[in-house]
Amino acid sequence: MDTLSAVGLGVLQGLTEFLPVSSSGHLVIGQHLLGWKEPNVFFDVCLHLGTFLAVAMVFRRDIASLVRGGLGWLRRPLGGNPYDRDESRRLFELVFFGTIPTVIIGFAFKDLFESLFASVRAVGFSLLITGTLLWLTRRAASFRQWGPFDIRFRHAMLVGLAQGLAITPGISRSGTTIAVALFLGFQREWAGRFSFLLFVPAVMGAITLELVKLRGIPAPLGPIVWGTAAAAVTGYLALRFLLAVVRHGRFHIFAPYCWALGTVCLALTFFR
């Protein structure tokens, strides 16, 4: 892996992790264009560390609130006042329940998802699905405007289920989770916030598991550092842009791009 390729994939990861066009799908395509025979899983995890840093910068107050809520929940997990409107505690509970389906799906179908990273055709079909979900959000959230105290734990788990299924390359994590949140009636701004707060424990868990399995650095350290930095910077800019798009109800504008790229992937595999 050379530095230029690492930076290029870092930029690709940073842009597509937050824009609802599937970072994993773009990485599969990029890896095939660069001639990689198999995805470098460790490098992929490092790129996710870069995008995690972008989320931490944008949502630093929410993450601090999440930590406070977790500590409060540990001190008083049961028997609290049902009318207690502690937003930090509520935030922690919603993220906790939303993370459960992601963990179950990630462990139960890990091998299946990893096998799909070798298939450009699977990425093509998945991008078409992502585009359709994005397009359907045009009328979403017009009938409800739920905030954190209106959302039930089952709603949080449905968004977490969407995140778990989005491990599939070509299914956008941000696109799917925000779309499902909008379909359920979340406020637009809260749909974006909740989607990326769910990202925090998911990516931290993935990074931790990969580091536990690590036996030395399976790639040159220099390119990894540059790629991670590129993912962090571009991810920060992309995340700011996406949140503005969601607030203005223009989430569906990414659908044509997903349809076009998915069609190109299927055409390439067909003619090959």
C-alpha of 108 from chain center: 19
Evaluate whether 188 touches 8 at the Cβ level (below 8 Å): no
Per-residue DSSP letter, 168: S
Measured from the Cβ of residue 48, the count of other Cβ atoms closer than 10 Å reads: 24
Burial class of 270 by CB neighbour count within 10 A (0 to 12, 13 to 18, 19+): exposed
Mean pLDDT of the chain: 84
pLDDT, one tens digit per residue, over 43-85 is 777 888 899 999 999 999 999 988 888 888 877 655 455 445 6
Residues (pLDDT < 70) of the chain are 1, 33-41, 76-85, 141-144, 214-220, 272
Compute φ and ψ for 186, nearest 5 degrees: -65, 150
pLDDT, tens digit (0-9, with 9 covering 90-100), for 100-126: 999 999 888 877 777 777 778 888 899
Q: How many CA atoms lie within 13 A of 140 on its CB side?
A: 26
The pLDDT, as a whole number, for residue 133 is 93
Predicted confidence at residue 218, as pLDDT, reads 57
pLDDT value of position 53? 92
CA dist 28 and 6 (Å) reads 14
User: Which pLDDT belongs to residue 83?
Assistant: 46
pLDDT of residue 259: 95
Can you give the length of the chain in residues? 272
Residue keyed to tokens 């998915």: 262
Q: Which of 234, 170, 207 is nearest to 28 (CA)?
A: 170
The two three-digit tokens of residue 270, written as one number: 């067909």
Inter-residue contact 163 to 102 (CB < 8 Å): yes
- Measured CA to CA, the distance from residue 156 to residue 91 in angstroms comes to 10
* Alpha carbon of residue 205 to chain centroid: 13
**How many independent structural domains does the chain possess?**
1
Q: Residue 141 carries which DSSP code? A: T
Tokens 């607030």 locate to: 247
Record the pTM.
Answer: 0.87
* 115: containing domain: 3-271
Distances (CA, A) of 161 to 10, 157, 172: 27, 6, 13
pLDDT at position 271: 73
Find residue 186's DSSP bridge partners. 146
pLDDT at 215: 61
- What lies within 8 Å, CB to CB, of 48 at 6+ separation is 13, 17, 203, 206, 207, 231
